[in-house]
A and B are shown apart, each in its own frame.
Chain A
């Protein structure tokens, strides 16, 4: 069975807590707080003001560049504020607050449940619709999808890879989508293939989800989705990392930055993103909702909700019930998710799950000294030396950290997970990576001035 070439770890997948919970539609919130930045790139400009009436699906934030994304109202009602509010990490961000009145959608959105497979649009038209709909990578990276679909001149896409790996422990939103909304994923895949002009697509799924693999294959055979193949992959974290997945599926490694996946002919999309693409292109529906896993060992109940963006995190726990005492609430899963410090923070596009870890489960062990066991070196899927990068960052040796390719770190956390001395390796490496990246940008800006 195929997998990525170097490093990786095998954490317990903890999927059993929520994998059999069917997708439920979360009751609409009375208020939605929608941040103007939910993507990598430039923040969007609000195009509504206090007092405006908006419909669900109406544009409220205009993208401000190529690498940026539109933002739409997720509910209908009145705009009550356009102001800065804390996001999940407690940083103040510009948000549009909508007070809900009913559930009125933009008239051009097709809300019928019929599946619409046929697509005769030209690639440019598809990309325009994806861009219009504000679609970003729903696996967590939030990278604007229209940018990925726009193959640069002189390069050629050869294969579309649909990411159904979901290697992050606990999360099951992609899994539920593959089980319950397989047709949408497959039609979305066909649309992506059409947009980038290839005849082959591979859906990569880890082999801890055999029913998803079987179901997708069954629908492919039944409905004649030609050129789409489901590839079971070995269960190993971070299999779902873009570069790792490409290597597992094609055997080709994306060269170090600034090379992009397209340099090896690959265009990668998450399964949930494929659904969003299907809805945008075939149903004129902008990205205003997604499937979110609400999970954790100590919750009263676990769920997979279809929820509108801007919904307060606290609403998800009205049924699930947060445990008492110290807990860590994560936007995402335990390996790469970000700790949420404000329970009223809104649901954003990149949030595939809200994972609750008990204080004990998320406790950090006492930090000892590095024993040079090299377990972090063996675990690093990028072939870096985490012990060294961490030390260089701690000593603020930014130039040396740059020499040792700190910017190639994908922040998967394998190094910290595996360290027997409980060193916070990734904490330091992340600081090193951010500092070096800003140094590189500063150098580029300085040389542009000259």
Chain B
């Protein structure tokens, strides 16, 4: 029942907003925030009361004769993603409070619709339901990015849309193939059925799923839509894309790709890992040279996603556990960083590192928040990025020591671009652009404070999260390495 409520609340909020067309800006903001807070409370309740023994499930017949069900369930892996979604969406909504968007009802309605679909993706137990929500999640975000984005947004987001849909269609074919072979759509039953699929078909399944998820994350060489889309989209859409939608790709790798194509994984997993690691290095190197902060964070996101993909594809406990933890950490950090970029752009009208500088002198509070979130992103010990990144690197290293060594460069490169960004924007001499920079207040603090707090808490108590996911990950691993 809990699973159903988690889907229904944002959906109702979204429809309510759609019905409220013509009301004023404040009403839509408050309705959206209230809905997402209720959702957060329920997600938090699920998180606290969760116990890996109980399996929370709802199941309704969707297409009777095809045995396709509206089947939701929560296990440790789902729970973590639900908690992340529940936590981030209110912050994303809150981060828009200082600004007013045209057609605001539709704007907030689409955000909540995206949340509905995300919750669905993370809880789906039926493979068609998973695909359904996976596709539906993109539609509201596409419209958010395209309609409220910059002047080039229609062209750029269109590329993103066609690109990701193209990948998803491969997944659809793979799903249809599996469904016909196994004549079931239940993901749990498909896991068992997948063992009897011939190695040749498994290889094809592996690539079909990998391309679909690799485009979503993105992983080299399917990333070309990402930097432009992230920088042209309005900030809330960028936050949704980098904080949550990209996680659907990693989640798909863990939930769908690994257990459904284990033979394909052992044949081609290393190639896919190499691609991911190349992407990681490539993204970091480009990030070092970026002067546009939003693009810089976009490339850093790309690099982080590469490491997560490599960790998951290593098929080890530490790799997958690390990826799960890093998904949460990166989601939170990305939202925080993009919000700080928005704050800077709002006050200085520029995202160019060369024109910024000396902001710390006016803004003690912003500097502290920025520092904490930035260090989380660099993966300093005692921040949320550390444990995840450490486990990820261990996973990659266990699988292939050379690759692990190359991937380890991320620690250095990540520090270089992040510190460079911090130093060039916040420190140094004030100039005429940044002279009047005012410190954060009101809703801005309300967004940054929880993020900074979680960055530290997660870094100090990572075990809370690891314990929740461990049983689920172990049972997945038994499917991969029987």
Chain A bound to chain B: no
Residues of B within 8 A of A (CB): none
* A residues lining the B interface (CB < 8 Å): none
